[in-house]
Structure 1
Amino acid sequence: MSGREYEPGPAAGAEVWKDGERWTLVLVRDLRHPPARVWEALTEPAHLVEWAPFDADRSLAAAGPVTLSTAGVPTPQLSASTVRRAEAPRVLEYTWGDNELRWELEPHGAGTRLTLWHAIDRRFVSWGAAGWHVCLDVLDRSLAGEPIARIVGPEAMKLAGWQRLVGEYAAQFGGESA
């Protein structure tokens, strides 16, 4: 399947936690692959280029500074970021610009339950949910040996189901964000 043939499924597995002005998008996805394989895909630059909305100048598997650059845009935005915690293959925490991300992996049957917490500006929470939804679909297919091209940025917004997906997440989150 090519990225052009892919259409995202319905919005699922997401919620928003609100603490005053701080909003956190929480996504849960069950993947068909063991935690060690998912960990490698979350941390290694050679795998990130297959599915993530950014590229990394080094592995995210160790704490310390890292530069993340947005993918899929004409002029990538470079973000001085920091891996705060990397406990393979369970917990990964890092900053991406002003955003904080935390990934938790736990065995789930023969696969992995992946949970992402993404501190995000409330104005973009539904777009963020839709974007991560697409990225995680691409990640799952890549790990299954059924890769499709990375779909991020403007390419994601061209998907046949993009507006529907954003609208479904906005409805799930109470319409408080677009």
Structure 2
Amino acid sequence: MAGQYVPGHAGGAQVIKDGERWTLVLVRELNHPRERVWEALTDPKHLREWAPFDVDGDLGHAGATVHLSVANAPRPMISETVVTRADRPSVLEYNWGDKNLRWELESLGDGTRLTLWHNIDRGFIAWGAAGWHICFDVLDRLLAGDPIGRAVGPDALRYDWQRLVDEYAKEFGVTAPKFPGTDVGK
């Protein structure tokens, strides 16, 4: 049940710093085969269940142009996206706005080691880490047949998102900005 979900502590993340350009690297080991994880990363129907965006087409084809729209945003936030690499079921790359995402899926026994590289503005790196942490938990539960529903945007606040933000901010040595319209992030 969704009400019983509480994310674990911050972990499995690092930041690669190149001046003002920071890249969040998250690693998660999933007990699901690469093909199932690939489908969840590329199929719009599956992405609607766990990802922080909706997409109007399949992300699994290099050269495809689709539109990503931020889920649960207070106003429409849509960006045109080009899939720059889609090597099924190992590597997926595309942009989200002016930020790049690279997904690597590595076989790990019967499961998959999923690694995400996402360049994020330095001031929001802890937000990104906490958000993706929760998204990965939701993805794992979805693939296990125990879906809890997407928890992004303001909905993530119900799931200890602020605790995760604070933990990642401390780990990365940054101060997280305040979440708009709340006293979260003080």
Q: Same fold (TM over 0.5)?
A: yes
2:85 is equivalent to residue 85 of structure 1? yes
**Aligned ranges 1:108-127 → 2 under 5 Å:** 108-127=108-127
Letter in 2 for 1:135: C
DSSP 3-state at the match of 1:11: coil
User: 1:15-55, CA deviations, whole angstroms, 9 ceiling, x for partnerless residues?
Assistant: 00001111000000000100000000000000000000001
Q: Distance in 2 between matches of 1:22 and 1:75?
A: 27
Confirm or deny: 8 A CA contact 1:92 1:104 kept in the other structure.
yes
TM-score (norm 2): 0.91
- Other-structure match for 1:166: 165
Q: Distance in 2 between matches of 1:157 and 1:126?
A: 14
DSSP 3-state at the match of 1:148: coil
Q: Distance in 2 between matches of 1:81 and 1:65?
A: 6
User: 1:145-173, CA deviations, whole angstroms, 9 ceiling, x for partnerless residues?
Assistant: 000110000111232x2221111111111
- Other-structure match for 2:145: 145
2:17 is equivalent to residue 35 of structure 1? no
Q: Distance in 1 between matches of 2:57 and 2:35?
A: 18
Q: Distance in 1 between matches of 2:87 and 2:109?
A: 21
TM-score (norm 1): 0.95
- Report 1 or 2 for greater relative contact order, CA contacts < 8 Å, sequence distance ≥ 6: 1
Q: Distance in 2 between matches of 1:54 and 1:122?
A: 21
Aligned-residue RMSD, C-alpha: 1.0
Shift in Å, 1:73: 2.3
- Other-structure match for 1:106: 106
DSSP 3-state at the match of 2:4: coil
Aligned residues with identical type, % of pairs? 65
Runs of 4+ in structure 1 off by over 4 angstroms are none
User: 1:71-100, CA deviations, whole angstroms, 9 ceiling, x for partnerless residues?
Assistant: 122433111111100000000000000110
Confirm or deny: 8 A CA contact 1:51 1:138 kept in the other structure.
yes
2:126 is equivalent to residue 132 of structure 1? no
Confirm or deny: 8 A CA contact 1:122 1:177 kept in the other structure.
no
Q: Distance in 1 between matches of 2:75 and 2:98?
A: 19
Q: Distance in 1 between matches of 2:10 and 2:100?
A: 22
Q: Distance in 2 between matches of 1:6 and 1:109?
A: 27
Letter in 1 for 2:54: D
Confirm or deny: 8 A CA contact 1:125 1:177 kept in the other structure.
no
Extract unaligned runs of 5+ from structure 2. 177-186
Q: How many residues align?
A: 175
